A and B are shown apart, each in its own frame.
Chain A
């Protein structure tokens, strides 16, 4: 059974940093791209980052580019999101998700974690 379990969330002041983790199990982690998606309170979903199988390629939307860094440790079947210079608008539940992809592009996100809450406030 595929499981994605996020951790590391909490309350952080604006401008500070936080690192999220996602522990994966039930599949060969190193064979899959991975991603983070977030959801602000009472709002919709927003894609945050994607990483290739080896970690050599990463992708971000402009809203987090330069502040967030996605990474992975295939030996530990773990995914990470380093968030720097946090802003109040980064307050959200952060989900770890597994993309299912073809040769050229991601088809969809087939498994999601339960999410971890990050609150950015002074």
Chain B
């Protein structure tokens, strides 16, 4: 199965800063249609899990432009520019290229 590694368990940042969360896959997530099957999710206490990015770089409806997905092949990054108080949460990457679909272990953004 494809393993997704989010090396940082936690990242401590201050509001207004820029942060990057990385996700490394054990094999390429590029499909024959030219798209990467890598998506990003946000989990906040008391709220439903929210999809932020799919196909590595496409924002879902309503997601603020400060959330930026990038990367290709096996290396992917979720960047958040000018972090807002509501962005302190846990972020997960997910691959849906091959079954079993697998998630990264998660990266928690914490207030410095």
Contact = CB atoms under 8 A, between A and B. Distances in A.
Instruction: Kindly list the 8 A-B residue pairs having the minimum CB-CB distance in the complex, ordered from nearest.
Output: A108-B39, A61-B100, A108-B54, A112-B49, A47-B101, A45-B103, A106-B96, A112-B48
Given A44-B106, A46-B103, A47-B103, A108 B96 contact: yes
Interface residues of B, number: 25
Contacts of B65: none
B60 A110 contact: yes
Contacts of A97: 49
B94 A113 contact: no
B91 to A, nearest CB: 11
A102 B94 CA distance: 16
A17 to B, nearest CB: 23
Contacts of A109: 39, 41, 49, 51, 94
B23 to A, nearest CB: 12
A44 B106 CA distance: 6
In terms of DSSP, what is the predominant structure of the interface of chain A?
Answer: strand
Interface of A: 44-47, 59, 61-62, 95, 97, 99-100, 102, 104-114
Contacts of B100: 47, 61-62
Contacts, number: 63
Contact of B31 (A44, A47, A105): A105
A45 B60 contact: no
B61 to A, nearest CB: 9
Given A105-B37, A105-B97, A110-B60, A44 B103 contact: yes
B48 A102 contact: no
A111 B100 CA distance: 20
Contact of B49 (A95, A99, A104): A95
26 contacts: A44-B103, A45-B41, A45-B94, A45-B103, A46-B103, A47-B102, A61-B100, A62-B100, A95-B49, A99-B96, A100-B54, A104-B31, A104-B33, A106-B37, A106-B96, A107-B54, A107-B55, A108-B39, A108-B51, A108-B96, A110-B60, A111-B48, A112-B48, A112-B51, A113-B48, A114-B48
